[in-house]
Amino acid sequence: MNYIQNCLLCVLTILGMFRKRPPLVVSEPDVDAALCHLRNLPFRPVQPKPWDRNRFLGTLRETIGDRPKIGQTFDVAPGVYAIIEPFGIDLAGMSETEERYQVWLAIRSVGTDPGHVTEL
């Protein structure tokens, strides 16, 4: 790489750090399902506060951070995982020019049963 290419690469890298991140959204039915799951967990002394909407959304925002990337996954709460996807990727006819990211919530509603596992 020559000097000019190197400088251009540095400038593009710096500009990328200040680029505004796309808005991040989450589906309300996903939030409701996650809250229902969390509220039905057995009481644990390490998490005495009840899960309400604000606490969950705050935890979700904090866990994801400022610069999520498409395809990234996060462990949000007990049995709740977040996956970053382009908004509307699961909807037919959505424009690929959409500037938002969507958080998909995956919920693991049952724990591991050591007597019923399958080796892969």
Residue 15 is assigned to a structural domain of this protein: no
| Residue 42 within a domain | yes
Q: Are 68 and 101 in contact (CB under 8 A)?
A: yes
Look at residue 1 and tell me if it is in a domain: no
Instruction: Tally the domains of the chain.
Output: 1
Assigned domain for 36 exists: yes
Domain membership of residue 11 (yes or no) is no
Chain position carrying tokens 């000019």: 4
Residue 12 covered by a domain: no
Predicted TM-score of the model (pTM): 0.72
In a domain, residue 38? The reply is yes
Residues of the domain holding 27: 22-107
pLDDT by residue for the chain (120 residues), tens digit each? 577 767 666 666 665 555 667 889 999 999 999 999 998 887 666 655 678 899 999 999 999 998 899 999 999 999 999 999 998 887 776 656 668 899 999 999 877 788 888 889
The total of other beta-carbon atoms located within 10 Å of residue 98's CB is: 15
- Please check whether residue 52 lies inside any domain of the structure: yes
Residue 44: the pLDDT is 62
